[in-house]
Copies of this chain bind each other. A is one copy, B any other.
């Protein structure tokens, strides 16, 4: 069965948080042409990234089809995202029916604010750590991690860490061989150890 990967965009999303994983998810099409990759905004209108470039949407919260994976990126827009009731409601609704719920960078702050990570282990960007952990007092925050898997929830560290997490998600949905082939096609040195994290120390978190 082909899978549908959905990435949620909002104004102020971080470019690489989205397009590192999107590159990897998009390559799954080479192994199963029926794979779908959808960019989702709340109203189906384009979103403007934190860095400026603007991206068109394939679906809105209202017309988004069933998904096998949800990815929420980080970026300065998550500062509003933690108070965005419509987005949090959409995330809670999809969490009930989606196989893998994933975040990159400060996206985990929004998952936490939505109550999705209560009682779970999770990580986030290491520069914005204090702000992130304040969004979820019931979360077991892990400061030293490239990504953390807890059940269906995969949360990654900052920006480029999303690529490593996305490959782990692909390994889970499509098999390890497919993930390895995609990393090779991306000419990407996949950090396969979720505990690899020199940036926790760099930012004084360990």
Name A residues whose Cβ lies closer than 8 Å to a Cβ of B. 14-16, 18-20, 22-23, 25-27, 29, 37, 39, 46, 49-56, 58, 125-127, 157-161, 163, 184-189, 191, 198-199, 202
Contact = CB atoms under 8 A, between A and B. Distances in A.
A166 to B, nearest CB: 11
A52 B51 CA distance: 21
24 contacts: A15-B22, A20-B20, A22-B51, A23-B159, A26-B49, A26-B50, A26-B51, A26-B52, A29-B51, A37-B51, A52-B58, A53-B55, A53-B58, A55-B55, A55-B56, A56-B56, A127-B185, A157-B187, A159-B188, A160-B186, A160-B188, A160-B189, A184-B199, A184-B202
Nearest to A183: B160
A27 B51 CA distance: 7
Nearest to A197: B187
B23 A52 contact: no
Contacts of A188: 159-160
A186 B159 contact: yes
